[in-house]
């Protein structure tokens, strides 16, 4: 079943092949400010429709995308894809889709380990 995630104004839509099996809440300097819950997918599993603006920080390996109109963080993508992976902000998905999905807490601010390991 395909899932649609949308920004607040609807200018950016992400069509995703399936609901996430797990979500990540990261406490790094940008993720905790964005308030995102990341669902990870292969780039082939996600279709991004609409115009986004990007922000690149730190080691400059990831572009954080946001709606160019309302500013909602939509997804992240690797600048130079060394692996087929991207993050989708699951908070843009219908709440019923993510209600029962396990949320793992990642210590991206320090150890890069999950707190539940």
Fold of 3-106: 2.170.150
Q: What is the mean pLDDT of each run of 10 residues along the chain (117 residues)?
A: 94 97 96 96 97 93 97 96 94 97 96 90
Q: What is the pLDDT of residue 1?
A: 67
Q: What is the pLDDT of residue 21?
A: 96
50 phi-psi bin (left φ>0, alpha ψ -120 to 50, beta other): left
Q: What is the pLDDT of residue 111?
A: 96
pTM for this predicted structure: 0.94
């Amino acid at each position: 079943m395909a899932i649609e995630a949308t920004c607040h104004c609807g200018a950016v839509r992400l069509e995703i092949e399936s609901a996430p099996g797990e979500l990540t809440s990261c406490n790094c300097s940008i993720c905790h400010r964005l308030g995102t819950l990341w669902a990870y997918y292969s780039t082939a599993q996600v279709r991004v429709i609409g115009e986004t603006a990007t922000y690149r920080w730190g080691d400059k390996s990831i572009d954080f995308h946001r709606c160019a109109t309302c500013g909602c963080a939509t997804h992240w993508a690797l600048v130079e894809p060394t692996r087929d992976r991207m993050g989708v902000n699951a908070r843009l998905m219908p709440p019923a889709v993510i209600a029962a999905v396990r949320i793992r807490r990642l210590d991206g601010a320090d150890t890069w380990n999950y707190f539940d390991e």
